[in-house]
Amino acid sequence: MTQETMSKPVDAMELRSVFGQFVTGVTVVTTQGTDGKPYGAMVTAFAAVSMDPPLAQIILTRSSKAAKHLDGSSFAINILSDGQLKAAKHFAGEPIDCEPEWVLNGNVPVLVGNAATLECRAWNNYDGGDHIIVVGEVSSVALGDADPLLFHEGTFRRIGERLEDGQGESWFAGARSFQPFIP
């Protein structure tokens, strides 16, 4: 391959800016370590994987201390509410003056005040370059009554204006066909 046909390398800061255009909910994974203590970390990404079996995934930096606690362990995906900004900052590495409120649900620590919570049994881990992809089988769910905390362009945010009246539930099943562009 010649220099002329090779793509120019992707600039890391530019890539980070592009990734930052995707609005995400703020999630913290929590688990009980082998030492019996609760641990938690903000995760890079969270996604629904499958309805049958019920699977969800989180992605976190391989170098994080939390990654070693998630190999074969049950865990909770805490979808933070817009009232949990201090907890979000704490789990992102900015210590706060008091520990975030949590309860032990079986063997899994769960944060209090979440917009929603998924408790998961270990399913599989995958290589994601400098990240690790952890898939869990959802064993229980809880839905709170608060709006989720959002993250966009490096800033925490709240939900804004709703753009349509529909419930938007049909999109989750996925597209039934691959749509062509209209010329």
Low-confidence ranges of the chain (pLDDT < 70): 1-6, 20, 165-176
Kind of pairing, strands 108-111 and 38-42?
unpaired
**Could you count the other beta carbons within 10 Å of the beta carbon of residue 117?**
22
Question: How much is the pLDDT for 165?
Answer: 63
Question: How much is the pLDDT for 105?
Answer: 82
Question: Residues 128-174: pLDDT tens digits?
Answer: 999 999 999 999 999 999 999 998 888 888 988 777 765 555 555 56
**Inter-CA distances, 59 with 25, 44, 126, 132, Å:** 13, 5, 9, 6
Question: How much is the pLDDT for 65?
Answer: 75
> Can you name the CATH fold of 22-161?
Pnp Oxidase; Chain A (2.30.110)
Q: pTM score, two decimals?
A: 0.83
What is the residue extent of each domain of the chain? 22-161
